[in-house]
Amino acid sequence: MRLLQPSIDAACGKLDRIAAGAERAVTPNATAAAGPGDAAPDDGAACWVAEESALLRGLNHSLSNRVAAVSALAGVLEADEAPGAQLTAALASESRRLETVLRLLRLLAGMPGAGTEPIQLGELLPEVALLHAQHADFREGEPATVTGAPDALPVVTTTMSLVRAVLALLSAARGAGARAALDYDGDERVVRLRVSPEPAAPLDPSLAERAAAAARWLLRGDEASVQVGDGGFVVELPTLLEIRRRRTRGG
């Protein structure tokens, strides 16, 4: 247990720092552009703060459960001079589950100040789906399904912004269905990421606009667009190939 304590302390400290950052996230100077009929930028910021709070509550619940389980097993191990294979296997399993929670916590925290970078959606989205499954309002459901074109090109955006935007959209989609679905495809110029309820169901218009406003606010510094449709959301992201072409033409 003592070997795990630094990781546990670090996780608790990170939870506190993220929560403090969330309180400062909504400012009078929010700069996201809102089109006709869109929710205001401040609505997007406020929507994300509420979303992040629910994710933090869920992660805190999972972290507390994992720490309690590891502590209980560690206590049994300390009292047993010859622990059996079943007990040591249980401790190893709980340690892996604890590491998973810490990994998802790091994904939510992100790297503030990081710039745009090439991202393979096939690698990132399964992790985002697992993170959203920690959401305090949706812990009883199944994680979102992820499907995509195997030949989809890497996109260029800010990882932290994209992760948080998809989380906000997943909650709106999950609120309309038994679970949510992520799927993507594209061409040489753009990749289209669709976030929708599963099975198909209409979105709540008010929740959908708030979620879209949050996604636009989060992606405001990137070359991305977020649209609301009858069956879900569509996020368009430029491909790495397209960005390189633009730079070549600009040079």
**Full residue range of the structural domain in which residue 198 is found:** 117-250
Predicted confidence at residue 9, as pLDDT, reads 55
Contacts of residue 231, defined as CB under 8 A and 6 or more positions apart, other chains included, come to: 196, 197, 200, 202, 203
Same domain, 147 and 198: yes
Predicted confidence at residue 105, as pLDDT, reads 95
Tell me the mean pLDDT per 10 residues along the chain, length 251: 50 51 40 42 86 96 92 81 79 91 94 91 97 93 93 96 98 92 97 96 93 96 91 96 89 46
User: Could you say which DSSP state residue 240 is in?
Assistant: H
Predicted confidence at residue 177, as pLDDT, reads 83
The β-bridge partners of 225 are 236
Same domain, 101 and 121: no
Same domain, 245 and 144: yes
Residue 219 to residue 92: CA distance in whole angstroms: 39
Predicted confidence at residue 22, as pLDDT, reads 44
Which runs of E-coded beta strand occur in the chain? 117-119, 145-148, 155-157, 179-186, 190-198, 225-228, 233-238
Classify 189 as helix, strand or coil.
coil
Give me the number of domains the chain comprises.
2
Predicted confidence at residue 17, as pLDDT, reads 53
Predicted confidence at residue 23, as pLDDT, reads 43
Contacts of residue 74, defined as CB under 8 A and 6 or more positions apart, other chains included, come to: 1, 91
Predicted confidence at residue 135, as pLDDT, reads 96
> Is residue 207 assigned to a domain?
yes
